[in-house]
Amino acid sequence: MPGAQVSEVARRHGATRWQIYDWRRRFRRRGVLPSCEASQPTFAPLVVEGALEEHHVPAIKLEIAIGDVVVRTDTAIDGEQLSRVIRAVRASR
């Protein structure tokens, strides 16, 4: 049955998928079944409909305690900016 799924054939005949695979392999070895020849790969066209929407991820609140100083910000802060703030807090101690 060209195009049939092994699991469907197995279910229909009360067998397991592995039995179907084993039987198929044995029949091919004996020359009862033709060997499978894969078709040439083809490309499917890609169609883009409209621009993808940018998903906004909410900022997460961030709290960093350095000694008795607490720096509160959110994850929207630039990493370089945050590094400068932390260095400034450490330098002032």
Asked if pLDDT for residue 92 goes beyond 70, the answer is yes
What confidence score (pLDDT) does residue 35 get? 63
Residue among 81, 89, 62, 65 nearest 73 (CA): 62
| Rounded Cα distance, 72 and 62, in Å | 6
Asked if pLDDT for residue 39 goes beyond 80, the answer is no
What confidence score (pLDDT) does residue 63 get? 92
Model pLDDT for residues 46-79, shown as the tens digit of each residue = 887 777 677 777 778 989 998 899 999 988 888 8
What confidence score (pLDDT) does residue 1 get? 63
Q: What is the mean pLDDT of the chain?
A: 83
Instruction: Provide DSSP, 30-71.
Output: HTSSPPP-PPPP-PPPP---SPPPPPPPPPPEEEEEETTEEE
Q: Which residues contact 76 (CB under 8 A, 6 or more apart)?
A: 59
